Structure 1
Amino acid sequence: MRGIAVKFENDVVVVGGCGHVGLPLAIVLASKSLKVVSFDTNTQVVATVNSGKMPFDEPGAPEVLSKVLQAKRFSASSNKDVVSTAEHVVVVIGTPVDEHLNPDPEVVPNAVAQLADVLKDGQHLVLRSTVYPGVTKLVEKVIADCKKKIDVSFCPERIAEGKAVEELVALPQIISARTADAVERAKKLFNNLTQNMIVVSPEEAEL
């Protein structure tokens, strides 16, 4: 979003940031010298992470967590206000399915709507969850309705549990957005993980 020069206290906040997808992403980004906060509503898990313990098994992650906590480049928080402190807001939440294995397309847009009061002009919202086709457009409508000047991109995760730390820097990153500005901001963020990026449309990325 050109023309909006905003200084942020943190580089990245990961929403759903203490889960199997969000936490590895957060600590690996922090290990690349970014200042990162994991926002998670589970206060017990937040306390575990801040104490230096991984809340689940992930090879290679405990060492990275310890390093970024000691360097004061990473912390976890259950306070929603931290969402307003970062340039890049990465949304990583699970998408539940019904008994027919159909995903609920409203989960991610509803989560973004609940963040609307703490989102700020000039931020870059990254959808990282595996979503149903059309969800990016629904999220863009949520952002438009809340009258915030925010770039939106969809950069789906494809990592396997147990290989997250390794695959975050080994696999190509899929980058998609509706505008050139949002594409460039997503590329700038994920360039911290890899220079191997594939740019596609949001609809292609959702397939």
Structure 2
Amino acid sequence: MRFLPEHRSPRVAVVGFGYVGCCLGVALAENGITVVGIENDPALVARLRAGQCPVPEPGVTEALARLAGSPDLSFTTDYDGLLDADVVVITVGTPVDEHGSLMTEQLERVCEQVAPRLRPGRLVIVKSTVVPGTTRTLVAPLLEHGGLTQERDFGLVCCPERLAEGEALAQIGELPVVVGGSGPEGVAAAARFWERVLSVPTRVLPSSDAAETVKLATNWWIDANVAMANELAQFCAAFDIDVTDVIGASNSLPKGAGNVNILQPGIGVGGACLTKDPWMAWRAAMDRGVRLRTIDTARRVNDGMPAYTAEMILEELVKLGRDPAAAEIAVLGVAFKGGTGDLRNTPVKEVVGHLRGAGARVRMYDPLVDPDRMRAEMGATVADSLDDAVRGTDAVALLAGHPQFRDVPPERLRDLVPAPALVFDGRSYFTAEEIARLRELGFHYRGVGR
């Protein structure tokens, strides 16, 4: 059977309107595709219908507001909403337990709801992050309980989500989509779908197992690369070398199909994926008798960075003759990543906790995070503006590299912060020229590996 309609745009149901579902659903609707978002939470559905965005992703709020009330994007808690859909995209959360094992309850519940509502000719796309074999051995049998047969009656593929927060909407329209399935008809339909609705190329793999592994491999690599950068930063600090000089020169070496590509060090790793997906791969490998040592090591290195960061800040205050227990510290940026307002697993929370545990008074400011949520989750004082956050403090710690902070010249800090004070750079934010200017103005500078 040939899946997808030939002479009209496909109608799409996105099941699960969290971060991935929201970004994808909005992008498809903005491209003129009719999308229905299915979400179990009635309060969230009410917010979405009102054009209120639950996702701290640049551009999504504005797009959702533009689409509010449009027939191109609707929302419901009723799974009957997918009856008219040609394509069902599953984007529900797939957390891990304390042992790193994939928890499939949400995925199973969705499949049980989708199965009796599938119609011949439909295409089901799994975008949730799962371990190899999940689409083939869990999703497919659950969907076939509805009476249809995969590949004969409906297509089933895995197309793993690979978006980088802060760049999601742009990447949806640019990144090649990985497609892996159990049969040629479903795979061909999925490739046609992505090329038609988003005009993006596809990378077809021989199985859904391989496609599922792509997401795990990608975040495994990122986490391990960041861990190396973080340990390289500590190595460079021991020799009074600027790690950014070393990384810049190292990355000029051709290697393989590209160059050496050491990422930037920082105060730790956060978000929903990098803190979870490597453990998912580690656990799945352990269940098959394989010990993945790089994952275990990288996770421990990156999880140790918030404490290391706080210790550096406190040590530098002591060097300036300040008592950490009486110090006031401004934290600029509390999101886990620059350019986004996402607080999920942000390493800044642990940094702030260590500073407050040493007796320091912390003021926080983040232009991209809701102040009430920041106050509830972080516990420290929330300032209304950058000026209010830094005025009169002993240290200014830049812990998320938001573009908005680029508009703050060193001279402005001098007018607000009495010298000598510490400027701590947790994200390799300042250039060598900016660091020199800070020092000329009487500031004491320190960064991760700098």
TM score, norm. by length of structure 2: 0.43
Cross-structure match for 1:193: 198
In the alignment, which of 201, 212, 237 is matched to residue 206 of structure 1? Answer: 212
Aligned length: 206
Equivalent residues in 2 for 1:14-163 (5 A)? 14-16=14-16, 18-69=17-68, 71-105=70-104, 107-137=106-136, 138-148=138-148, 149-163=153-167
Give the direction of change, closer, same or farther, for the CA distance of 1:75–1:4 in structure 2 (3 Å limit). Answer: closer
Q: Distance in 2 between matches of 1:4 and 1:162?
A: 32
Q: 8 Å contact 1:105–1:132 — kept in the other structure?
A: no
Bigger radius of gyration? 2
Q: Distance in 1 between matches of 2:161 and 2:4?
A: 28
How far did 1:14 drift?
Answer: 0.2
Asked whether 1:164 is paired with 2:168, we answer: yes
Instruction: Report the aligned-residue RMSD.
Output: 2.4
Q: Distance in 2 between matches of 1:204 and 1:43?
A: 36
Q: 8 Å contact 2:3–2:189 — kept in the other structure?
A: no
Task: Please state whether the residue corresponding to 1:21 is helix, strand or coil.
Answer: helix
How far did 1:11 drift?
Answer: 0.5
For residues 63-108 of structure 1, what are the alpha-carbon distances to aligned partners after superposition, in whole Å with 9 as ceiling and x for unaligned? 2223333542111111111021200000001112111112125642
How far did 1:9 drift?
Answer: 10
Q: 8 Å contact 1:104–1:132 — kept in the other structure?
A: no
Which deviates the most, 101-110 or 163-172?
101-110
For residues 1-30 of structure 1, what are the alpha-carbon distances to aligned partners after superposition, in whole Å with 9 as ceiling and x for unaligned? 3399799997000000x2111011001011
* Structure showing the higher helix proportion among its residues: 2
Which deviates the most, 113-122 or 76-85?
113-122
How far did 1:187 drift?
Answer: 1.4
Give the direction of change, closer, same or farther, for the CA distance of 1:190–1:23 in structure 2 (3 Å limit). Answer: same
Give the direction of change, closer, same or farther, for the CA distance of 1:181–1:102 in structure 2 (3 Å limit). Answer: same
Q: Percent identity?
A: 32
Write the letter of the residue equivalent to 2:210. Answer: E
How far did 1:194 drift?
Answer: 3.7
Instruction: In structure 1, list runs of 5 or more residues that go unmatched.
Output: none
Q: Distance in 1 between matches of 2:23 and 2:3?
A: 33
Write the letter of the residue equivalent to 1:134. Answer: G
Q: Distance in 1 between matches of 2:2 and 2:201?
A: 25
Task: Please state whether the residue corresponding to 1:170 is helix, strand or coil.
Answer: coil
Instruction: In structure 2, list runs of 5 or more residues that go unmatched.
Output: 214-450
TM score, norm. by length of structure 1: 0.89
How far did 1:157 drift?
Answer: 0.4
